[in-house]
Chains A and B, each alone.
Chain A
Amino acid sequence: MTSQPIIRFDNVTMQYDGDDAVLSDVSFEIEPGKFYTLLGPSGCGKTTILRLIAGFIQPSKGDIYLNGQRINGVPANKRQVNTVFQDYALFPHLNVYENVAFGLRVKKLKQAVIDEKVKEALRFVNLTGYENREIREMSGGQRQRVAIARAIVNEPEVLLLDEPLSALDLKLRTEMQSELRELQRRLGITFIFVTHDQEEALAMSDEIFVLNKGRIEQSGTPTDIYDEPINRFVADFIGESNILPGVMIRDYYVEFAGRSFDCMDGGFHPNEQVEVVIRPEDLEITAAGAGKLQIRVDSQLFRGVHYEITGHDESGNRWLVHSTRKVRVGEEIGLDFDPEAIHIMRFGETEEEFDKRIEAFTEVGDEN
């Protein structure tokens, strides 16, 4: 809050003639030195935001500010941001050194300076000694690093990363996730990372923007978004969840699955229809008859770290449970959970209204 935003979108709309808007009336601020993730399904507009910041496309409506200056219409080569492309877009006719040096040569720096900076950048991405390799001789992971080196060597204030890990295999991807996070900390610049992989987003980001159909559904820290999704889309998209219809009998008291439970949410009308979210890992399996709910097991999948168990209760709601305990299919089991595990979502609530409500009812809660 204290520092001036490095990037600001003011009611930005992006629309190609005749088509539906790719982005509709999007506003947000990006603070310097943080790792941001734009997360959403394909076609949600996340790459469009990146391309707008990079300057490859210009907004149909609204303003974009970089360091407080309006940059609508400023071409890509005049912007202090650099991009790591999804397909890396390394120049096939240049070797590793020349690829990294490209931006510096364009700036007509002295050869000695270029030498030093390229070495430094390659050292940063652990590619020292690869200067004279041709791009086609490099593996996917190495190309990725060259692409990062080529971008950071220009010392941008903001680094844009367009799904850079999607072409890598799982193990390499996990490695690169922590490396990228580490790199961002060492460089201290802003990273804006685009992905459709929620695990990647949760693992790497300081701040996540969840996008859907050209709008920002919710923004916040990974824990905020995971623990308190504001609607069905976010709850569904980030992690797995049990979403059930419920009724808020009064604040801190909710009815679902035919029973009533204490919960931690407030600020509702009495008897308001709501949706209840419970994460599968927050459910604990107990003996039949014990616990707060009884379900019958329909299926069980071994996932390595846990069993993925599905079942149904008497009212016919389906339940997803993650547990290290093994059960038998067809068996009746009890489920236990804490009041903290219950998260209540209002229908049609925007992020702003949600924040206001949280603020209001926590104040009331403090007085009690």
Chain B
Amino acid sequence: MRTSARNYYLVPYVAWIALFVVAPIVLIVYYSFQDIEGNWSLGNYAHFFTPVYMRMTLSSFWYALLITFFSLLIAYPTAFLLTRAKHKQLWLLLIILPSWVNLLLKAYAFIGLFGTYGAANAFLEAVGIGRQQILFTDFSFVFVSVYIFIPFMLLPVFNSLEELNPSLVQAARDLGASPWTTFRRVVFPLTIGGVKSGCQAVFIPALSLFMITRLIAGNRVITLGTAIEQHFLVTQDWGMGATIAVFLVIVMAVIMVVTGQRRKGARG
């Protein structure tokens, strides 16, 4: 009686998972085995492993890697300084605040800033470098993406630094370690969990970015995300789009498994 009553509470969650998690994945897998006429086929997968798509996959990974790397490069020292700052909660809020603004709005703002007659070029001209093509370059793509993803990297790293027992740092110093050795042998290894979650939170969505590739990179950067969008909305080849999506789901699962392990017992 009691257990069956408890089971009823599960209904909304099970229904939710079935409808919005399991069903879409099943549908995507189903479509990935259909060609454009609706016949069963493995053609999409065969097509996926051709140089065109492989190049696209490689460039997706490459850009996602670059974005993750630069986000970490900026977010880690920032988080480190934040944990030592006086009004850290306020600073944290200020850094997170931009992520509340709509992504599309921010992308358009950057078009204005990076455009030929934008603020960035006005500044370059004023210091005597002269106008440059900033928009529609790899640089602007990575720059804007990093800007957008930094809060997602910063939060987990900040949290793991906050959790770090400060007496461990003192202990390392007491045992003769310089500030750099202390960082390398104590601080970083103990915050690697936060770094991993941050990398997951950035790398996975960065793999399938599509809007920024169009608006900021002017379709010069074509990632798997762009390809999916094109197949579903332009060429109407749902099968091929679904195949790429299946591939991304698998890659993400692998990344989660690889980076998620070895966390048990890392805390004392």
Which chain A residues have a beta carbon within 8 Å of chain B's beta carbons? 54-56, 75-78, 81-83, 85-87, 89-93, 102-103, 106-107, 134-136, 150-151, 154
Contact = CB atoms under 8 A, between A and B. Distances in A.
B107 interface: no
B190 A93 contact: yes
B12 interface: no
Given A87-B167, A89-B165, A92-B190, A76 B174 contact: yes
Interface string B172-215: 11111110010001100110000000000000000000000000
Interface of B: 165, 167-168, 170-178, 181, 185-186, 189-190, 265-268
A93 B266 CA distance: 6
B176 A85 contact: no
Contacts of A151: 174-175
B173 A106 contact: no
Nearest to B173: A76
Contact of B173 (A56, A93, A134): A56
Contacts of B266: 92-93
A154 B174 CA distance: 10
Given A93-B266, A135-B268, A150 B175 contact: yes
B165 A75 contact: no
Contacts of A135: 268
A82 B175 contact: yes
Given A82-B174, A82-B175, A93-B190, 9 more contacts: A77-B177, A83-B174, A85-B171, A87-B167, A89-B165, A92-B267, A102-B172, A103-B175, A135-B268
A77 B174 contact: yes
Nearest to A134: B265
Contact of B268 (A76, A81, A83, A92): A92
A102 B267 contact: no
A102 B167 contact: no
Nearest to B172: A102
Contacts of A154: 175-176
A106 B176 contact: yes
Given A134-B265, A135-B268, A136-B268, A89 B178 contact: no
B165 A106 contact: no
Contacts of A54: 170, 174
B170 A85 contact: yes
A255 B185 CA distance: 67
Nearest to B192: A93
A82 B173 CA distance: 10
Nearest to A83: B174
Give the most central of B170, B189, B268: most A CB within 10 Å: B268
Given A85-B167, A85-B171, A106-B181, A90 B176 contact: no
Given A135-B268, A136-B265, A91 B174 contact: no
Contact of B170 (A56, A92, A136, A150): A56
Contacts of A55: 173-174
Nearest to B170: A56
Contacts of B178: 77
Contacts of B267: 92
B170 to A, nearest CB: 6
Contacts of B181: 106
Contacts of B174: 54-56, 76-77, 81-83, 151
A87 B165 contact: yes
A93 B189 contact: yes
12 contacts: A54-B174, A76-B170, A76-B174, A77-B174, A77-B177, A83-B174, A85-B170, A87-B165, A89-B170, A92-B266, A102-B172, A136-B265
A284 to B, nearest CB: 49
B189 to A, nearest CB: 5
B168 A103 contact: no
